[in-house]
Amino acid sequence: MDGIEVLEATVDDKPVMRRLLELYAHDFSEFTGTDVDARGRFGYPYLDVYWTEPERRPFLFRVAAKWAGFALVRTGVPHDMAEFFVLRKYRRTGVGEAAARDLFARFPGDWQVRQLEANPGATAFWRRAIPFDFAEAVTAEGRVQRFSSVAVSGP
């Protein structure tokens, strides 16, 4: 999709990320059965460390200057797409695929993406969005695709 920006989230963006994570957790509660806490929040225990641990990298997606989603990446061997989310109005418009490919190119090397068996739409998405040969396996936690990405060379 044209016009999508993938921005590394600054610590000033943390409140935005926290709110978008609530929407993501609500979507996931359909699969996991998770309840909100007494304050009505799902919460995300690893949020703060995305600005303190250098291997954790937070990204926000923007379309026409509006927030459209986010990714939380754990860099390493392999890089891991810890969380990935597109706001509903932007789904099935190519935002997820464009953002995922941007991130794969930013972090060349071995990758894994994981999804719950209860979330087959995510599996269909990753099979389409990964532009490299991948191996798929079923684990105790769900399904995983493993592959190697290469950086996109400039013009």
Ligand X SMILES: CC(C)(COP(=O)(O)OP(=O)(O)OC[C@H]1O[C@@H](n2cnc3c(N)ncnc32)[C@H](O)[C@@H]1OP(=O)(O)O)[C@@H](O)C(=O)NCCC(=O)NCCS
Residue number, 9 or 95, with CB nearest to ligand X: 95
Among 18, 74, 91, 146, binds ligand X (CB under 6 A): 91
Q: How many residues bind ligand X (CB under 6 A)?
A: 20
Cα–Cα distance, 124 to 43 (Å, whole number): 27
Amino acid of residue 48: D
**Minimum distance of ligand X from residue 149's CB (angstroms):** 17
Q: What SS3 class is residue 144?
A: strand
User: What are the distances in angstroms from CA 126 to CA 14, 37, 43, 121, 122?
Assistant: 26, 31, 25, 9, 6
Which CB atom, from 11 or from 128, has the smaller least distance to ligand X?
Answer: 128
Sheet holding 4-8, edge to edge: 4-8, 56-63, 66-74, 79-86, 109-115, 142-149, 134-139
Q: Does 149 bind ligand X (CB under 6 A)?
A: no
CB-neighbour burial class of residue 91 (10 A; exposed 0-12, middle 13-18, buried 19+): middle
Check residue 104 for interaction with ligand X (CB under 6 A): no
- By beta-carbon proximity to ligand X, the closer residue of 59 and 125 is 125
Q: With binding defined as CB under 6 A, does residue 92 bind ligand X?
A: yes
Among 11, 19, 26, 27, binds ligand X (CB under 6 A): 27
87 residue type, one letter: L
Does residue 96 bind ligand X (CB under 6 A)? yes
- Cβ distance to ligand X smaller for residue 13 or 113: 113
Residues contributing to the site for ligand X (CB under 6 A): 24, 27, 84-86, 91-97, 115, 119, 121-122, 124-125, 128-129
